[in-house]
């Protein structure tokens, strides 16, 4: 089931508290490598998002390229925020 408007607002607020920026209907990670627009919230459920970004973070962490370490953290933040939405 896709995000409700309440879940979407909570997800965005959680990420903004981590330094993400909400602009023109899109929430952007601090490094601008990850973003979510309305389409993401209508296509994915909070559970889908949590699981997908947790797996992405794990893959990125296994890679040895140091420039990807920030990307891993951003994926973990997205997974965490979706998990918080699920628990509320």
Over residues 27-59, the pLDDT tens digits come to: 999 988 899 999 999 999 999 999 999 998 888
Which tokens in the block code for residue 66? 């140091």
For the question of whether the overall pTM of this predicted structure is more than 0.85, the answer is no
pLDDT tens profile 62-85: 765 555 556 678 888 888 899 999
Per-residue pLDDT at 17 exceeds 80: yes
CA atoms within 13 A on the CB side of 16: 11
Backbone angles phi, psi at 4, to 5 degrees: -80, 170
């Amino acid at each position: 089931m896709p995000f409700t408007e309440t879940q979407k607002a909570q997800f965005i607020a959680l990420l903004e508290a981590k330094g993400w920026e909400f602009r023109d209907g899109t929430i952007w990670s601090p490094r601008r490598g990850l973003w979510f627009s309305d389409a993401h919230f209508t296509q994915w459920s909070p559970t889908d998002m949590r699981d997908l970004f947790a797996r992405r973070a794990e893959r990125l962490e296994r890679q040895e390229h140091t420039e990807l370490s920030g990307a891993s953290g951003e994926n973990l933040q997205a997974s965490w925020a979706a998990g918080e939405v699920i628990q509320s």
